[in-house]
Copies of this chain bind each other. A is one copy, B any other.
Amino acid sequence: MKINIERNSKTALYLQIKNQIKDMIYLKRLPLDYILPSERELAKTLHVNRSTVVKAYEELKAEGLIDSQIGKGTYIVFCDKNTLKSRSSSFRKHLFWDEIYSKNSRNSHNDVISRIMDIGNNEIVSFAGGIPSPDLFPKSEFQKVQIKLLKDEVENMFLHSPVNGYKELKKEIKNLMLNREIRISTNNIMITSGSQQGLDLIVRAFVSPNDIILVEEPTFFGAIQLFEALGAKVVAVPVDEYGIQVDALEYLINKLKPKFIYSIPNFQNPTGITMSLERRYELIIIIEKYGIPIIEDDPYGELRYEGKDLPPLKALDKNDYVIYLSTFSKVISLGLRVGWIVAPERVINKLGSFKQLTDLHVNTLSQHMICEFLKQSYYENHIKRIKKEYTFKRDLMIKELEKNFTEIEFYKPQGGFYLWCKLLNNVDLNLLLKKSIKNKVNYIPGNFFYAKNKEKSNFIRLNFTYPKKEEIVIGIKRLKNTLNEII
């Protein structure tokens, strides 16, 4: 409802308001039952005294055009006979939206995880997220970047971008990829709203309902849920300490003719396992033998705390079987939503036509921010800084776990974000989560990382990057106390 106040007019303010509302009612621009803003709200919007609005509403009430009721507010009661006729007829009914969901909507994916992650208040220690430490955000660098952009590029920062991404940022990513042994041109790159969107675009472009996708077991729940929401069948391949087991993989490929393999070779989520170099070579041989492409998800690759970097599958891939995904979410900022896909040029173009339909392009502002951050060479030092800090946090969490528990086993990851902890077999995970949250510590229960998540799991995933150091100490103690309560 827009009302124009003319302060120089001879007509009293309350009359201006009254007459304009009356107009809108008679012209049916405001329908029957329409709830007017409260007197206070409208006074505030129009910058007039509240008593002015009160007077206008009173006169409208006196004329039988509006009425008010406690709880409902002030609403329109006037309507002409035609409207009344149609309104009173028998066919009116509410729509039951729950009954009209699409087939894909019904592929159950629960939002328990979002709810666990949303449990955020200052008292809860959260080991649940996959979020970098807010304290390590490169604040002063980003301030410098923004000031520079405001000065030199304010024209371009808010314009639309090409579907596949801002060219200068793609150049920077191309150089970044050289550090990971991946040599490509900018035409092999698409910028996405984080790697989650990269995954979504790939699945939409290539996967039809009932297609099979092989995944490591356990694996990232966001991938499982996405694949299932798009109608794919997710089948798990067992994993050992060197990564995906290629003999089992070969057996499943023969049996199921999958459309894709989805793998996280570096510091896998949730297990923290890094696929060995030998396994990487074997995997490439298998997929070339059977002609099955791989989606390689590498959000954590930069975050190695010990040992030597291994080449991504994409670097070993001579025949274009690998689509590589990465992101700045785990190393710079989750909130900026900037990730990327590396793929053959014709695949990038196909994905581009989906990107166009989905949301046109990644917001220009974030692309410029990240681009300038890379150009100014802030990236390398920033990575060094966070690796040092995360190494410390990982070791601290391990120390606290060892100090407090004899009954928890875990694998020490060479990098990444997570400790994957095995509890005793008889622990009731549902009860543990409920009690933990009550005791102000949370995490993700292991069953979410399995394709069949009803399966019994006695693992929990703990994130060590997000909590502060003192929170790690407190949180592990709380976990210990909780476990004691229920055993």
The chain A residues found within 8 Å of chain B, CB to CB, are 1-2, 27-31, 33-35, 37, 41, 45, 83, 86, 91-95, 97-98, 100-105, 109, 111, 114, 118, 131, 134, 137, 139, 142-143, 146-147, 150, 154-155, 157-163, 175, 178-179, 181, 183, 192-194, 196-197, 200, 203-209, 211, 222, 225-226, 229, 259, 277, 281, 285, 288-289, 291, 293, 308-311, 315-316, 318-321, 333-338, 344, 346-347, 349-350, 352-354, 356-366, 369
Q: Least Cβ distance of A223 to chain B in Å?
A: 9
In the bound complex, CA of A157 to CA of B222 (Å): 24
Copies in the complex: 2
Contact of A194 among B181, B259, B318, B360 (CB under 8 A): B360
- For residue A346, which residues in chain B have a CB less than 8 angstroms away from its CB? 97-98
Does A207 lie within 8 Å of B150, measured CB to CB? no
- For residue A319, which residues in chain B have a CB less than 8 angstroms away from its CB? 92-95
- For residue A333, which residues in chain B have a CB less than 8 angstroms away from its CB? 158-159
Q: Ordered nearest first, which 8 A-B pairs have the shortest CB separation?
A: A335-B364, A193-B359, A197-B359, A337-B363, A158-B333, A103-B208, A160-B334, A102-B208
Closest to A96 in B: B291
- For residue A349, which residues in chain B have a CB less than 8 angstroms away from its CB? 111
Q: Least Cβ distance of A43 to chain B in Å?
A: 13
Does B178 lie within 8 Å of A155, measured CB to CB? no
In the bound complex, CA of A179 to CA of B45 (Å): 10
Does A357 lie within 8 Å of B1, measured CB to CB? no
In the bound complex, CA of A282 to CA of B100 (Å): 23
Does A281 lie within 8 Å of B28, measured CB to CB? yes
Does A204 lie within 8 Å of B104, measured CB to CB? yes
Does A335 lie within 8 Å of B161, measured CB to CB? yes
- For residue A109, which residues in chain B have a CB less than 8 angstroms away from its CB? 353, 357
A91 and B318 contact, Cβ closer than 8 Å, known pairs A200-B359, A334-B159, A362-B337: no
Does B131 lie within 8 Å of A183, measured CB to CB? no
- For residue A139, which residues in chain B have a CB less than 8 angstroms away from its CB? 154-155
Does B336 lie within 8 Å of A364, measured CB to CB? yes
- For residue A336, which residues in chain B have a CB less than 8 angstroms away from its CB? 158, 363-365
Does B369 lie within 8 Å of A183, measured CB to CB? no
Does B359 lie within 8 Å of A194, measured CB to CB? yes
24 A–B contacts, CB within 8 A, in A order:
A27-B277, A28-B281, A37-B183, A86-B285, A92-B288, A93-B319, A95-B293, A95-B319, A102-B203, A102-B211, A105-B354, A114-B163, A114-B353, A137-B158, A197-B358, A200-B359, A222-B356, A222-B357, A225-B357, A334-B360, A335-B364, A335-B365, A337-B364, A359-B359
